[in-house]
Structure 1
Amino acid sequence: MKSASIGAASAMLLVGTSTAVSATIADYPVLAGQALRYALAAAILLVVVRHQRLPRVRLTARDLALLAALSATGLAGFNLFLVAATRHAGPAMIGTVVGAVPLVLALLGPLMERRRPAPHTVGAALVVALGAAVAAGLGSGSLQGLLLSLGALVCEVAFSLLAIPLLPKIGPLRVAAYPAALSVPLLLAASLALEGTDALRLPAPGEAAAFIYLGAIVTAAAFFLWYDALRRLGADRAGLFAGLVPVGALLTTVALGLGEAGPADVIGALLVTAGVVSGLRQPGRDRDRRGTHRPPEALAEPAADGSPRSPQNA
């Protein structure tokens, strides 16, 4: 439980650092850059999968459909909506809308597992979402910008929910690797259509360094940590940590000297922290007392070879 919480927190803090790092590649075509990022991440993850010598898994048509949907929404779709939203709304509005991810996961995650959302977790998710909104600044924008931001929110939620049925069977490494690989041709096609053939250029040395960080750390490492935590904590409790993304962005921005922390930033960070701590403590004790819900890690504890263990072997 503790290691899963640390992994989830680390993953979301790392994702938050991408805001400051992405500022160094602002002149590089966005969609082509994302294709480079995911291509590098997929290569790293697939090498790790091969090195781990995980047991072969036969993917069904349903598995392939889920992987394709995950890559099309949670990766490629999210970036497309995000790019389009920036043309009609400010970063504050987009950050505020996408900051509702913990609340949505707290509601939908348990429903997917055929159980009621825990009231304390939902309440904690509201606090986390409020903190993310305060940190984002509660900005303004057009109706079109709001709708596009909601599209990004849906894709971000799909990034977690579509992975849940896959994790017990193929494990977090493969769930992180396969959609990353599948998203590359989608993003390249979108880049050619929206950014033109000039978008496919070699990055400058500084840009290359940024892409290496984004691909290896923010994508490969953070995706694995997130999916591992999602498998062990469940969507509702792991989703609380999504509120740490603006905190990671704030810390990186200050550390790199790109900005200063204002009152709203500090208050938002404190609200997020309070919501995460509250959500992780009380629901676990309630479930244990009722005996109505076994934690996900009890059903899918990894075997010695790193592969997920079935309930019969747990």
Structure 2
Amino acid sequence: MRNAVADAATPPRLAAVNGNGVAGAATAMFVVGTLAGVSGLIKDYPLYGGQLVRYLVASAILLAVTRALGLRFVRLTWREGLLLGGLALLGLALFNVCVVESARASGPALVGTVLGTVPLGLALLEGRPAPRLLAGAAVVVAGATLATGLGSGNLTGLLWALGAWIGEISFSMLAIPLLPKLGAIRVSAYSTALAVPMLAAIGLAQEGPGMFRVPTAAESLGFGYLAVVVTVVAFFLWYSSLPRLGPGRAGLFAGLIPVGAIVTGLVLGVATPSAYDLLGAALVIAGILVGLSASRARRPLGGGRGRRDA
């Protein structure tokens, strides 16, 4: 489904890459799942320092792309500035803090399971979701929960995981009003650039000056993949697809994150999927198909009053 708002501020050739949004959303979330495959390359680097490196490199690339495409700087209203600041703070900086701290407190399974419910949350927040969309989201949640190992943990880990859930929801919902005016590239560039000083402040508070050191060759490869593929490419694809699909339908593809992790582990030979993993992946795919079959009202996201600034 295409509409004028979906293409706002996005060059036609780049907009065409995502078609109706399905391919872009699926690729974005699958790619995010592959970060598990490179985690071994950066496991010895300070956690918060690593996030700072990732977003610093990604923002530099995105701002360079923005300039190369001739996308001029857009002055925001105070409300839009608050939305962008909230997106950077909640959807990027604090999201990463909550994921890190939840994994430290309870292991990665708990936060993975909580984040697996994001499709249902986005479907409910869309307004009046079709019953088939809710059913599909519920199946995706079940599949993602199986694929992440039925997480268990303590109260501290759960609270951090809930914070990560809020951040993941904010990553999409706070961007929707901005996309008609800014487009996918500028929303990605501005939000990642704003997240850099936030992550620097958090990292200094948590890890001190030790968060800064020159990465090894292997770590540089890992950070390069995280910055270019998992951040620049995935953010652009997600924000290009979100207005086309709406948060409910787009959210279904969040279930592909653990699927991406499973496939990456298998391809790299570092993990063999269990029967639960395969069943979870099958449920995710089935839920996506059910949810996408639901009808959606043809209404523009974000109010439909944004400018077309190519």
2:34 maps to 17
Q: Which residue of 1 aligns with 2:211?
A: 199
Which residue, 257, 270, 276 being the options, matches 2:282?
270
- C-alpha spacing 1:117/1:213, structure 2 compared with 1 (3 Å): same
Counterpart check, 1:128 vs 2:140: yes
Residues of 1 paired with 2:136 and 2:244: CA distance? 19
CA displacement at 1:151 relative to structure 2: 0.7
User: Which residue pairs with 2:198 in the alignment?
Assistant: 186
Provide, for residues 58-117 of structure 1, a one-character-per-residue CA deviation record: whole Å limited to 9, x for no partner.
Answer: 211111111111111111001111111122212111110011110100001x23xxxx12
Q: Distance in 1 between matches of 2:31 and 2:197?
A: 25
The Cα of 1:206 is off from its aligned counterpart by 0.3
Match of residue 234 from structure 2:
222
- Paired residues of 2:119 and 2:252 also in contact (CA < 8 A): yes
The equivalent residue for 1:149 is: 161
1:261-304, CA deviations, whole angstroms, 9 ceiling, x for partnerless residues?
A: 110110010000001111112324xx4xxxxx34659x69996x
Deviating 4+ runs (over 3 angstroms): 293-297, 299-303
CA deviations over 1:14-64 (Å, ceiling 9, x no partner) = 100011212221110111111111111111111111111125422111111
Correspondence 1:1-314 to 2 at 5 A: 1=1, 2-108=19-125, 110-111=126-127, 116-284=128-296, 287=297, 293-294=298-299, 307=310
Cα gap change, 1:296/1:72 in structure 2, threshold over 3 Å: closer, same or farther?
closer
Q: Distance in 2 between matches of 1:37 and 1:43?
A: 10
For these two proteins, the number of residue pairs brought into alignment is 293
Which letter maps to 1:232? R
Counterpart-to-counterpart distance in 1, 2:202 and 2:20: 38
CA distance in 2, matches of 1:132, 1:81: 19
TM-score (norm 1): 0.89
Equivalent-residue separation in structure 1 for 2:70 and 2:301 (angstroms): 24
Amino acid in the other structure paired with 1:97: V
- Is the 8 Å Cα contact of residues 180 and 307 (structure 2) preserved in structure 1? no
Partner of 2:237: helix, strand, or coil? helix
TM-score, normalization by structure 2: 0.90
Matching residue of 1:312 = none
| 1:15–1:245 CA contact under 8 A, matched in 2 | yes
Structure 1: runs of 5+ lacking an equivalent: 288-292, 308-314
Q: 1:253: how far off?
A: 0.8
8 A Cα contact 1:233 1:296, kept in partner: no
Unaligned segments of structure 2, at least 5 residues: 2-18
Counterpart AA for 1:175: V
Aligned-partner SS, 2:163: helix
- Shift, 1:139, TM fit: 2.2
Higher relative contact order (CA 8 A, sep 6+): 2
Partners in 2 of 1:20 and 1:302 — Cα distance?
Answer: 40
Partners of 1:275 and 1:301 lie apart in 2 by: 33
CA contact (8 A) 2:20 2:244 kept: no
